[in-house]
Homo-oligomer: A and B are copies of this chain.
């Protein structure tokens, strides 16, 4: 990764910029993985807020297993942005989701960091190309979008902008993998990335349903947690529908249930099922199945479903809070 200041696995000091729910969650995660964290946030109570939130997350991280040397004592709150990032091996920016604010902040961070230091933004939806305008160090700016809480949910969406160097995207993905996250590197810039787009489609349908009186908030949540949500913890919507096709898999599902795409089952119109889309779905499902037959996948699904049902039914001892 020509251009990088340091190898991803050698990064020891992370600067966490922003101490809200996401920034604090990142700090907790990096601390639990045994890294040093220097944080900064302009709010006057940021030191206390950050430490309170890290303390709230710590029992969960402790139960999940801390890395060797992991300690909350390795958290330092810096008095200025410059002091926070001057010795950082990598920067995680988690400022409020305001375009102009993030643009200016990322430009400042570029100037305050050593050359070759990757700066990842936790933005939940702005494409990096929009964020890196006017930035002199755009080549080191990437999206590193986590899910809440960042110290427990593995997914981090990684994407560069038009002016991002390919090495920086590779570096960020490799770094996240070494600290226990599951990076998903996007090939294309799309607003909202992948997981938030899917989540947002579901959320908007839910809002429409509540607005129209079709269902209540509680009915919507119950419908997910007792239904498809249980499967989605281990099997995505595509592989789930691959199984719904029985032995014929995705191809049979698309042909058989194709007409339901025309059903008024959501307010979102379906795309036309062109032969090209059909091919991509069938080939994609085959790739995701990775040689496993539908019967084998169904047996694995049953096993995972039982594991999840048991894990959630079994009230394990409460996580002790330290607050």
Our pick among B264, B310, B312, B321 for the contact of A233 (Cβ within 8 Å) is: B312
- Shortest Cβ distance from A284 into B: residue: B217
Our pick among B193, B206, B267, B273 for the contact of A237 (Cβ within 8 Å) is: B206
Q: How many copies does the complex hold?
A: 2
- Shortest Cβ distance from A20 into B: residue: B246
Q: Confirm or deny: A216 has a beta carbon within 8 angstroms of a beta carbon on chain B.
A: yes
Q: Confirm or deny: A302 has a beta carbon within 8 angstroms of a beta carbon on chain B.
A: yes
Given A299-B321, A301-B149, the answer on whether A226 and B182 have CB atoms closer than 8 Å is: yes
Q: Confirm or deny: A80 has a beta carbon within 8 angstroms of a beta carbon on chain B.
A: no
Instruction: Choose, from A6-14, A104-112, A153-161, the stretch at the interface.
Output: A153-161
Our pick among B155, B191, B311, B314 for the contact of A223 (Cβ within 8 Å) is: B155
Given A205-B197, A303-B318, A307-B316, the answer on whether A217 and B263 have CB atoms closer than 8 Å is: no
Given A155-B223, A216-B284, A246-B21, the answer on whether A266 and B230 have CB atoms closer than 8 Å is: no
Our pick among B190, B229, B265 for the contact of A236 (Cβ within 8 Å) is: B229
C-beta contact mask, A273-288 vs B, less than 8 Å → 1, else 0?
1101100110111011
Our pick among B56, B229, B246 for the contact of A229 (Cβ within 8 Å) is: B229
**Ranked 5 nearest A-B pairs via Cβ:** A217-B284, A221-B236, A192-B265, A229-B232, A311-B311
Residues of A within 8 A of B (CB): 20-21, 56-57, 60, 63-64, 97, 124-125, 147-149, 152-155, 157, 182, 184, 186-188, 190-211, 213-239, 241, 243-244, 246, 257, 260-261, 263-274, 276-277, 280-281, 283-285, 287-288, 295, 298-299, 301-312, 314, 316, 318-319, 321, 323
30 sample A-B contacts, Cβ–Cβ < 8 Å, listed by A number = A20-B246, A21-B244, A21-B246, A64-B310, A153-B226, A153-B230, A188-B213, A192-B265, A194-B219, A195-B228, A196-B265, A198-B220, A198-B224, A198-B266, A199-B237, A207-B271, A207-B277, A210-B284, A217-B283, A218-B238, A218-B288, A224-B236, A224-B237, A229-B236, A266-B268, A267-B269, A295-B321, A299-B319, A299-B321, A310-B311
